[in-house]
Amino acid sequence: MSPSERLVLLQSWGTVPAELQLNISALLAGPGLRLFSALFVHADWTHLFGNLLFLGLFGSAVERTLGPVRMLLLFLIAGAAANLFAALVS
């Protein structure tokens, strides 16, 4: 993937702080959905590998404790909250 294609991918699916408006309608559509889609977009292979490594190390224990459905909900909610926090402080 070329650098320009990677930039388009990140701007289309990643969290872009300048486009995120802090109101309910923004969180339900448009840029607000990027809080979730950004969980599945990675800057490069190292980023992806690091995320998978820590998910493997800690995720299996959390899933055994919470169960698969609650683990998925925790993953999505915590990831969206982390993206929102990162957008607010940048």
Query: Cα–Cα distance between 86 and 49 in angstroms, integer?
Result: 21
Q: What is the tens place of the pLDDT at every residue in 7-23? A: 776 667 666 665 655 55
More confident position, 6 or 30: 6
53-79 pLDDT, tens digit per residue, is 999 999 999 999 999 999 999 999 998
pTM of this prediction exceeds 0.75: no
**Among the residues of the chain, which ranges form H helices?**
3-13, 24-28, 34-37, 45-66, 68-89
Question: Within 10 Å of residue 20's Cβ, how many Cβ atoms?
Answer: 19
Above 60 in pLDDT, residue 80? yes
Give the percent of the chain with pLDDT over 70.
Answer: 73
CB 47 within 8 A of CB 84: no
Q: What is the mean pLDDT of residues 30-50?
A: 80
Domain extent listing, the chain: 3-89
Split at pLDDT 50, 70, 90, the class of 2 is confident
